[in-house]
DNA sequence: CCGTTAGTTCTGAATTACCGAACTATGGGA
DNA sequence: TCCCATAGTTCGGTAATTCAGAACTAACGG
């Protein structure tokens, strides 16, 4: 596997972040990573709410989040470890991530954010 | 012309807002409406930066912003008047719009936000 | 009634997203 | 060492979106 691409923080663009998080599934994945600080595997959250996400789609979702500069991924043994680049993004775009995650969380109509492992 | 559709504020979804603003052109249009409080015509901002946007695309952009719940549009005579639904959206998703607009504004690489009529 | 300006809809081409299937990479045994 | 299981990526075909030119509609002013 070739090493994963992560943009430098100064290359991170707001439109890429908004695009990445405009998908409720990706937003739910990112919210969970932010909450947990670190998520150990894609498969660990292969089900969001009650909807099953195929692993090829999941892989793409992680790639989009990674290339938008939202997460950092590294392989540890056989599985992937993902962590949010919260501090960096927060420094560059203050308040953005919190506002977005809170917006999703406060939206009652969005069941994709209900993750079983949430509490 | 049939009357324009505007979603009730409680029907406004975060993913629709993020999707609408994930396009730099639309974000620039929205930022200008927010700054000015009210923009009188589509054609008034038919050029963003130095790029010319065809009016059919412009019409679509306004439609996307409108259906995302970000702006309210009404016909006044021959032209369209657009205003930001800032207070409503702010009450529902606190800090979201400011964070997004500030993110674009602080992104030096984003020339779409440079609007000639800005100041 | 005609022309002009402002904006919308239609339409086809190009782009992007989705997801099943095949593939690659890593670690753990026998 | 070889093989298997697990974790994730890439490929390929189809579906859904987006883009922008052209034609259309709406409103006002002679």
Looking up residue B22, the CATH number of its domain turns out to be 1.10.10.10
SS3 A11: helix
**How confident is the model over A61-92, as pLDDT tens digits?**
999 999 999 999 999 888 899 999 999 999 99
Q: Is residue B42 part of a domain?
A: yes
Report which secondary-structure segment, H or E, holds B76.
strand B71-76
> What pLDDT band is residue A51 in, cutting at 50, 70 and 90?
confident
Q: Is residue A52 part of a domain?
A: yes
Q: Is residue A32 part of a domain?
A: yes
Q: Is residue A31 part of a domain?
A: yes
Number of domains in chain B: 1
- Interchain pair A92, B106: CB under 8 A: yes
- Interchain pair A106, B99: CB under 8 A: no
Q: Which is more confidently placed, B48 or A25?
A: A25
Amino acid B116: pLDDT? 41
Distance to chain A for B6, nearest Cα, Å: 18
Q: Is residue B74 part of a domain?
A: yes
Q: Is residue A43 part of a domain?
A: yes
Instruction: Write out the residue range of the structural domain in which residue B101 sits.
Output: 12-105
Q: Say whether the CB atom of A75 is under 7 angstroms from strand C.
A: yes
Q: Is residue B5 part of a domain?
A: no
Q: Is residue A49 part of a domain?
A: yes
> What pLDDT band is residue A20 in, cutting at 50, 70 and 90?
very high
Average pLDDT over residues A21-28: 95
């Amino acid at each position: 596997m070739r090493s994963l691409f992560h943009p430098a923080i100064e290359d991170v663009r707001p439109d890429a972040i908004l695009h990445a998080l405009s998908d409720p599934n990706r937003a739910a994945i990112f919210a969970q990573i932010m909450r947990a600080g670190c998520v150990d595997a894609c498969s660990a959250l292969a089900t969001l709410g009650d909807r099953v996400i195929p692993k090829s789609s999941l892989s793409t979702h992680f790639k989009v989040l990674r290339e938008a500069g939202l997460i950092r991924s590294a392989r540890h043994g056989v599985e992937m470890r993902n962590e949010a680049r919260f501090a960096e993004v927060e420094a560059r775009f203050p308040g953005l991530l919190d506002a977005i995650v809170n917006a999703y969380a406060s939206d009652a109509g969005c069941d994709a954010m209900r993750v079983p492992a949430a509490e």
